[in-house]
Homo-oligomer: A and B are copies of this chain.
Amino acid sequence: MSSADIWPSDKIQSLFGVQHPIIQAGMVWTSGWKLCVATARTGCLGMIGAGSMKPDLLREHINDARNALAEGTPFAVNIPLLRGDVKELVQVCLDEHIKIVFTSAGNPALFTETFKKSGAIVVHVVPTAKLAKKCEERGVDAVVCEGTEAGGHNGVDEIPTFVLVPQVRDAVQIPVIAAGGIADGRGIAAALALGADGVQIGTRFAATQEASSHVRFKQAIVEAGETDTVLSLKNIGPTRMIKSPFALKCAEFEHRCASTEETRELLSQKRERAGMFEGNWEEGQFEAGMGVGLINDIPTVEQMVNRLLEEYHIAQMRIAGQQG
């Protein structure tokens, strides 16, 4: 079956030069060159997440990905704009002639022009239709609209994917990529029905063999059920996490209206690294989306993407009325 037969829109495939409009999200301590390469080989868009990398390490990962992939295979780099050394990360992407950049957690006005001038495609991650419109005005090539189901950093307005996608679709002309809570092929079909041209998937890619995160993190995703994530740290920057001891402590702080200072102190140790990279369940932070309840194994990326495509096809046939 050719790509054109199964996808309702070819905008994402054309924009990035990929076979499937499925994008592996940039995730701290998780999406290094191995995950990016494994994803790129399935015909989806792989991404190196710079969020947990110093500039030199990002350069290494970019080179490792290039060396592993056939020449010209597209892949992307994600830069969270809240990073203190964001300019250096941007410079690495420019030096390395990165062709696809996803910016997130910040103002799209900051670097879009810089990247566009370098010839790169720029995608920005937004939590509202209002910001999607602003991105379009700023010349961004596509938006990821990320619902509050998503793991990690999250919008303050807590708009879920189901209502966010159609509102973003109505607000902009540029391609729309849905994210947040998409963990199986039914979710892909639903996102496209809501008006998206493609999907970005995080947590489902984190629970794969090739993700660079600690196996304890992957197991925690598998074990977590429908009520096992919490959106917390709202007075610093809303973050969705698995309900580990640290996350429950954050939630408790919030419940009793602890001060921002107190929460910052709790957070001050390197919680993300301790959790997702070192697998320290007691002390660490484990960022994951609400899709955890739909994830029950740790396959290879290839196995997982094949399953996504099969599930998508079944959901597509179901909606098309070709099955009871």
Q: What is the interface of chain A, defined by CB distance below 8 A to chain B?
A: 5-10, 128-130, 147-149, 157-164, 166-167, 170, 180-184, 186-187, 189-195, 226-227, 231, 255-257, 290-291, 293-294, 315-316, 318-321, 323-324
- A316 CA / B317 CA spacing, docked (Å): 10
Chain B residue contacts of A193, Cβ below 8 A: 186, 189-190, 193, 315-316, 318-319
The answer to whether B161 and A226 touch across the interface, beta carbons within 8 angstroms, is: no
20 contacts between A and B (CB under 8 A): A8-B318, A8-B323, A9-B324, A129-B293, A147-B160, A147-B162, A149-B162, A157-B227, A158-B231, A159-B290, A162-B181, A162-B187, A164-B226, A166-B186, A186-B193, A187-B194, A192-B318, A255-B257, A257-B257, A316-B319
- A213 CA / B182 CA spacing, docked (Å): 36
Chain B residue contacts of A320, Cβ below 8 A: 316, 319-321
Number of copies: 2
Chain B residue contacts of A181, Cβ below 8 A: 160, 162-163
The answer to whether A319 and B192 touch across the interface, beta carbons within 8 angstroms, is: yes
- A186 CA / B7 CA spacing, docked (Å): 16
Known contacts A8-B319, A10-B324, A257-B257; 7 further A-B pairs (Cβ under 8 A): A130-B227, A160-B160, A160-B161, A163-B181, A166-B186, A166-B187, A256-B257
Query: How near does chain B come to A313, taking the closest CB pair, in angstroms?
Result: 11
The answer to whether B148 and A160 touch across the interface, beta carbons within 8 angstroms, is: yes
Query: How near does chain B come to A7, taking the closest CB pair, in angstroms?
Result: 7
Of chain B, the residue at the smallest CB distance from A159 is: B226
The answer to whether A195 and B189 touch across the interface, beta carbons within 8 angstroms, is: no
Chain B residue contacts of A182, Cβ below 8 A: 162
Chain B residue contacts of A231, Cβ below 8 A: 158
- A294 CA / B164 CA spacing, docked (Å): 10
The answer to whether A321 and B5 touch across the interface, beta carbons within 8 angstroms, is: yes
The answer to whether A293 and B167 touch across the interface, beta carbons within 8 angstroms, is: yes
Chain B residue contacts of A189, Cβ below 8 A: 190, 193-194, 319
- A191 CA / B161 CA spacing, docked (Å): 12
- A300 CA / B226 CA spacing, docked (Å): 38
The answer to whether B321 and A8 touch across the interface, beta carbons within 8 angstroms, is: yes
The answer to whether A226 and B194 touch across the interface, beta carbons within 8 angstroms, is: no
Query: How near does chain B come to A117, taking the closest CB pair, in angstroms?
Result: 31
Chain B residue contacts of A10, Cβ below 8 A: 324
Query: How near does chain B come to A290, taking the closest CB pair, in angstroms?
Result: 5
- A263 CA / B248 CA spacing, docked (Å): 25
Chain B residue contacts of A158, Cβ below 8 A: 231
Query: How near does chain B come to A238, taking the closest CB pair, in angstroms?
Result: 13
Query: How near does chain B come to A1, taking the closest CB pair, in angstroms?
Result: 10
- A164 CA / B293 CA spacing, docked (Å): 9
